[in-house]
């Protein structure tokens, strides 16, 4: 069976998507050149910026990976989660707790991803029979449990957080200087984004779209809905955990705020700002949000209020429903940058 | 009798949770909106009570006024939210709703931070209710008994309102099928507005009642809304009776955990949620709900 390819926007692809003569995903080069464009653009911006902005962009590219992992659920599969920060935090805490191991930085990222993936499998199995809204609440509650545990388990140090997570070195190159770490983190992010893009274009990604659009019909044509949902949840958890590990290496400290409910909400807001109907939307949203936040609202004490106002504006300006609307919004926000 | 005191303690702990959760589940059952902002409404009720009472020792009438003012003001806040934000999104999907009410949560919390500051506040119980009494050999704080009585009154009132009154009949009709309700001449918009106001009032009432027991700050809502969501899930989305059963169950379990297994205190909610979801994915009374799923 040839893998169907989405060459047109989803609204059109909902029609006959397996067309004769369409190149299969295997020969689609978007998973290669799109991350390269991402890497070149962000790096060009990075080296043109003053150091304080470089710091923000360094965090923003990690958040770009995190919001894209959220989009695997919200945007690709139509599964809603309000506790995504938990996986990010688990990845970060995994790296923090194992900081004394003499592993390379990439091994740490692998461990972070694995820990979060295992947690995602367990949560996904507990919630496998739940309807959408109940599942969203379950994820929220799980997130809160993870957050409370950081205060309850002495080794996790509560509000103080865990300090001194090393950046390590790869092939003799010390990652401690900011510029070296920038190359390390942006390459890791770009490679994982490329893998996600490949998965997004595969028949697996296409099946997820079918589940999102109509789970009953998807089941009727033989798509194993529950198994694929679980797979998507695990994938999203693993990538979020990897982003968390990267975040821990970047800041060398992990605090409970990385798995708070508020941060889960912020991940959703960032992804929504970019729009989750396009693959690169959440990544663009994350970077945009970080700069809006730093430049416009960095000095206001009313961050919560401003965050709420942004979200309400995004949701209300187009009353026709968020998913259909945000691709238009993203189109406005990122016109002239990237089209997909 | 330690068991009886733990039991009453647990029930008293469960009552504010029931008030918050019943409002949440009522709004969900009738309108189909899972209202994130409910947690911030609860906090506004608590903050208003601290403002009305101030730092002194309140008399019983002052305290009653503070509680009623909290409920009334939050009801008004709910009515405004419904008519400005929620109403526009009835035709949107669940996720749009969740995000919009999440935005309202952030905005209300942000405004509360501006008005009341982030420093935690605390108030005293009214003098007459600050003592304790002995029941069957157990020492019970009087305030716990007040909470239990309020819980019983609200549960009975809600039951009568929904099942016996003319308004309740239209509420049930809208919950079952709002389009059909409109076709037979019900003003469904008004019913939904009033239900939203009623649910919000319950959140405000709960907030004002719990204010003497906790330290009140604008971020109090986060933890409480998650606990209320846990109760709504355990009880079954849309079932008021379910949230009553779940709140009592959780309250008593939490009280026993505090008394006998302190390492589990604060986690009983979440453990119960996991167990209930594994056994009954739609909650304890998920099938006996008010209206639609």
Contact B243, B25 (CB under 8 A): yes
Q: Which of A214-228, A278-292, B50-64, B158-172 has the lowest mean pLDDT?
A: B50-64
With an 8 Å Cβ cutoff, is A246 touching chain B? no
- In this predicted structure, the answer to whether residue A7 has a pLDDT above a threshold of 50 is no
**A302 versus A149: which is more confidently predicted?**
A149
In a domain, B2, yes or no: no
ipTM: 0.76
Q: Indicate the residue of A126, A303, A322 with minimum beta-carbon distance to B274.
A: A126
In a domain, B82, yes or no: yes
CA neighbor of B253 nearest in space, from B11, B1, B5: B11
Distances (CA, A) of B167 to A93, B154, B264: 53, 17, 43
The predicted model gives A165-180 an average pLDDT of: 84
In a domain, B11, yes or no: no
Report DSSP letters for B86-112, one per residue. Answer: GGGGTTS-HHHHHHHHHHHHHHHHHHH
Nearby residues of B230 by Cβ (< 8 Å), 6 or more positions away: A137, A141, B250, B269, B270, B272, B273
pLDDT at position A336 is 53
pLDDT at position A327 is 61
Residues in chain A: 340
Q: How far apart are CA A75 and CA A209, in angstroms?
A: 8
The count of other CB atoms within 10 Å of the CB of residue A294 is: 17
pLDDT at position A298 is 65
CA neighbor of A271 nearest in space, from A327, A233, A207, A313: A327
> How many Cβ pairs within 8 Å bridge chains A and B?
122
Q: Which residues of A touch B222 (CB under 8 A)?
A: 261-262
The predicted model gives A191-208 an average pLDDT of: 94
Q: How many domains does chain B have?
A: 1
Nearby residues of B56 by Cβ (< 8 Å), 6 or more positions away: B124
Task: Give pLDDT tens digits for A226-263.
Answer: 999 999 999 999 999 999 999 999 988 888 888 888 88
C-beta atoms of B99 and A321 within 8 A = no
With an 8 Å Cβ cutoff, is A311 touching chain B? yes
**A111 versus B33: which is more confidently predicted?**
A111
In a domain, B237, yes or no: no
Q: Look up residue A230 and give its two tokens.
A: 């679980």
> Phi first, then psi: what are they for B157, rounded to 5°?
-60, -45
How many helices and strands (H and E) does chain A possess?
14, 4
Q: How far apart are the first and last CA of chain A?
A: 26
Q: Which residues of A touch B217 (CB under 8 A)?
A: none
pLDDT at position A334 is 65
Task: Give pLDDT tens digits for A69-120.
Answer: 999 998 899 898 989 999 999 999 999 998 888 888 888 899 999 999 999 9
Q: Which residues of A touch B223 (CB under 8 A)?
A: 144
Q: Which chain A residue has its CA at the smallest distance from B230's CA?
A: A141
Q: Which chain A residue has its CA at the smallest distance from B273's CA?
A: A138
Determine the distance in angstroms separating the CA of B69 from the nearest CA of chain A, rounded to an integer.
Answer: 24
Q: How far apart are CA A223 and CA A228, in angstroms?
A: 8
CA neighbor of A113 nearest in space, from A158, A281, A105: A105
SS3 content of chain B, % helix, strand, coil (to 5): 75, 5, 20
Mutate to test the interface with B, among A304, A305, A321 (most CBs of B within 10 A): A304
Q: What is the mean pLDDT of chain B?
A: 83
Distances (CA, A) of A50 to A41, A46, A53, B72: 16, 8, 6, 52
Q: Which residues of A touch B109 (CB under 8 A)?
A: 304-305, 308
Q: Which residues of B touch A303 (CB under 8 A)?
A: 110
Helix (H, G, I), strand (E, B) or coil at B82: helix
CA neighbor of A239 nearest in space, from A84, A11, A76, A38: A84
pLDDT at position A17 is 44
Q: Which of A177-191, B112-126, B239-253 has the lowest mean pLDDT?
A: B112-126
CA neighbor of B34 nearest in space, from B105, B108, B106, B94: B94
Q: Which of A87-101, A313-327, B122-136 has the lowest mean pLDDT?
A: A313-327
In a domain, B94, yes or no: yes
Would you call A177 exposed, middle or buried from its count of C-beta atoms within 10 A (0-12, 13-18, 19+)?
exposed
In a domain, B91, yes or no: yes
In a domain, B259, yes or no: no
Mutate to test the interface with A, among B226, B250, B266 (most CBs of A within 10 A): B226
In a domain, B16, yes or no: no
Which domain, by its residues, includes B40?
22-219
- Report residue A297's pLDDT band, with 50, 70 and 90 as the boundaries: low
Q: Which residues of B touch A322 (CB under 8 A)?
A: 92-93, 95-96, 99
Q: How far apart are CA B79 and CA B199, in angstroms?
A: 10
**A36 versus A160: which is more confidently predicted?**
A36
């Amino acid at each position: 069976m040839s893998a169907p390819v989405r060459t047109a926007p989803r609204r059109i692809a909902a029609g006959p998507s397996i067309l004769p003569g369409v190149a299969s995903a295997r020969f689609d080069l978007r998973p290669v050149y799109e991350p390269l464009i991402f890497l070149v653009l962000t790096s060009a911006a990075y080296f043109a910026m003053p150091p304080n902005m470089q710091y923000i962009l360094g965090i923003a590219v990690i958040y770009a990976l995190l919001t894209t992992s959220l989009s695997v659920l919200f945007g690709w599969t139509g599964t809603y989660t309000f506790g995504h920060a938990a996986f990010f935090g688990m990845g970060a805490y995994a790296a923090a707790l194992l900081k004394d191991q003499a592993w390379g930085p990439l091994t740490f990222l692998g461990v972070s991803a694995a820990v979060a993936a295992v947690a995602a499998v367990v949560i996904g199995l507990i919630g496998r029979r739940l309807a959408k809204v109940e599942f969203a609440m379950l994820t929220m509650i799980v997130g809160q449990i993870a957050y409370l545990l950081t205060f309850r388990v002495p080794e996790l140090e509560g509000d103080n957080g865990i300090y001194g997570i090393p950046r390590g070195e790869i092939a003799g190159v010390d990652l401690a200087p900011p510029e070296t770490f920038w190359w390390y983190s942006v390459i890791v992010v770009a490679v994982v984004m490329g893998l996600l893009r490949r998965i997004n274009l595969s028949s697996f990604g296409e099946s997820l779209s079918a589940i999102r659009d109509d789970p009953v019909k998807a089941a009727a044509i033989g798509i194993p809905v529950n198994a694929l949902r679980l797979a998507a949840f695990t994938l999203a958890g693993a990538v979020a955990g990897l982003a968390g590990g990267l975040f821990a290496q970047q800041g060398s400290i992990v605090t409970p705020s990385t798995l708070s409910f508020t941060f889960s909400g912020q991940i959703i807001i960032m992804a929504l700002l970019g729009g989750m109907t396009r693959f690169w939307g959440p990544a663009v949203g994350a970077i945009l949000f970080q700069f809006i936040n730093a430049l416009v609202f960095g000095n206001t004490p009313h961050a919560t209020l401003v965050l709420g106002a942004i979200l309400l504006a995004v949701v209300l300006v187009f009353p026709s429903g968020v998913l259909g609307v945000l691709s238009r919004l993203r189109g406005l926000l990122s016109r002239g940058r990237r089209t997909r | 009798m330690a068991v009886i005191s733990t039991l009453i303690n647990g029930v008293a702990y469960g009552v504010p949770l029931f008030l918050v959760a019943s409002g949440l589940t009522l709004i969900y059952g009738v309108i189909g909106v899972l209202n994130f902002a409910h947690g911030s409404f609860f906090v506004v009720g608590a903050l208003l009570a601290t403002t009305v009472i101030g730092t002194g020792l309140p008399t019983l009438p002052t305290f009653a006024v503070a509680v009623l003012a909290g409920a009334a003001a939050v009801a008004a806040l709910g009515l405004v939210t419904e008519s400005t934000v929620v109403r526009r999104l009835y035709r949107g999907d669940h996720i749009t709703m969740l995000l919009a009410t999440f935005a309202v949560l952030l905005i209300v919390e942000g405004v509360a931070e501006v008005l009341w500051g982030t420093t935690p506040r605390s108030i005293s119980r009214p003098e007459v209710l600050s003592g304790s009494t002995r029941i069957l050999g157990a020492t019970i704080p009087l305030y716990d008994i007040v909470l239990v009585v309020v819980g019983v009154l609200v549960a009975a009132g809600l039951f009568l309102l929904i099942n016996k009154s003319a308004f309740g009949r239209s509420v049930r009709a809208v919950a079952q099928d709002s389009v059909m309700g409109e076709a037979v001449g019900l003003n469904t918009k008004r019913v939904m507005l009033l239900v939203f106001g009623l649910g919000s009032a319950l959140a405000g009432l709960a907030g004002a009642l719990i204010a003497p027991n906790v330290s009140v700050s604008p971020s109090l809502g986060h933890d409480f809304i998650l606990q209320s969501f846990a109760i709504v899930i355990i009880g079954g989305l849309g079932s008021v009776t379910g949230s009553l059963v779940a709140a009592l169950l959780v309250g008593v379990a939490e009280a026993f955990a505090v008394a006998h297994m302190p390492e589990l205190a604060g986690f009983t909610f979440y453990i119960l949620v996991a167990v209930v979801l594994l056994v009954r994915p739609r909650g304890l009374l998920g099938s006996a709900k008010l209206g639609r799923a």
